[in-house]
A = this chain, B = another copy of it.
Amino acid sequence: MEEVRLIEVKEEILADNNQVAAGVRDQLRNKKTLLVNLMSSPGSGKTSLILRTVEGLKQGLKIGVIEADIDSKVDAEKVAASGIPAIQLRTGGFCHLDATMVTQGIDALAENDLDLIIIENVGNLVCPAEFDTGAHKNVMILSVPEGDDKPLKYPLMFSICNVLLINKIDYLSLSDFDMAALRKRVLALNPGIKIIEVSCKTGAGIDNWIAWLGQEVESFRSGQ
């Protein structure tokens, strides 16, 4: 009984959310602002990746960041210290961002006329995958210490992303992480996904990510 009721409510909420998300996507497309939703487990390196991304792209592009956390604003402070506008959304116990919450962040950044907004979602491989934020591109990070079996356990997240960044490759020497097995599992779920190996600590592979993202922003600005 209880479980059935929960599912019904969830479906209703998801339907409402999809409508808001579609509106967010259209609105930002008209403004030529690319919205990227970044997801991962806690501690996989979302904030570190954003700092590397800002460093790589801020000369040519106007970038803003929406940070989500259940509590604290340490991430937004780190991003703001790099000189770009950052909004912290406190989800107050919510395990994901939905499109309505994202709208609040976008409104708060509206005066900046941005080329790119990056959302750092709540650290969670489950719930954020279910809620469309209105982003044009979904990107996830899997870090090497989490293991190569994660696509078997959290298939939805791997299925809905355009890019998978494999972070902390500097840990590979201490780990039994099987990169070939990981790639095979991911591509079985999502043949079109782009996989990029990086280390936010050493900077390895970051150029490949910056090149992909810069290209996406350019395509978006030129209306392709």
Q: Is B100 in contact with A2, judged by CB distance below 8 angstroms?
A: yes
Residue from B43, B146, B147, B149 within 8 A of A147 (CB atoms): B43
Mask: chain A, 141-176; 1 = CB below 8 Å from B; 0 = not: 001011101101111100000000000101100100
Is A93 part of the contact surface with B, judged by Cβ < 8 Å?
yes
CA distance A72 to B129 in the complex (A): 18
Tally chain A residues at the interface, Cβ within 8 Å.
Answer: 41
Is A42 part of the contact surface with B, judged by Cβ < 8 Å?
yes
Residue from B6, B16, B41 within 8 A of A2 (CB atoms): B16
CA distance A152 to B90 in the complex (A): 12
Given A95-B126, A145-B43: A71 and B153 within 8 A (CB)?
A: yes
Chain B residues lying within 8 Å of A181, measured Cβ to Cβ, are none
Min CB gap A140→B, angstroms? 11
Chain B residues lying within 8 Å of A170, measured Cβ to Cβ, are 174
Min CB gap A212→B, angstroms? 25
Residue from B3, B9, B123 within 8 A of A41 (CB atoms): B123
Q: Is A154 in contact with B2, judged by CB distance below 8 angstroms?
A: no
Additional A-B contact list (12), CB under 8 Å, known A70-B156, A95-B124? A2-B16, A6-B9, A42-B150, A42-B153, A43-B150, A70-B126, A70-B153, A74-B149, A74-B152, A95-B126, A122-B126, A171-B174
List the interface of chain A (C-beta within 8 A of B). 2-3, 5-6, 9, 13, 16, 41-44, 69-72, 74, 93, 95, 100, 122-127, 130, 143, 145-147, 149-150, 152-156, 168, 170-171, 174
Give 25 A-B contacts (CB < 8 Å), ordered by A residue. Answer: A2-B16, A3-B100, A5-B9, A6-B9, A41-B41, A41-B42, A41-B43, A41-B123, A42-B125, A42-B146, A43-B143, A43-B146, A43-B150, A70-B154, A71-B155, A74-B149, A93-B126, A95-B95, A95-B124, A95-B127, A123-B125, A123-B153, A127-B127, A145-B145, A171-B174
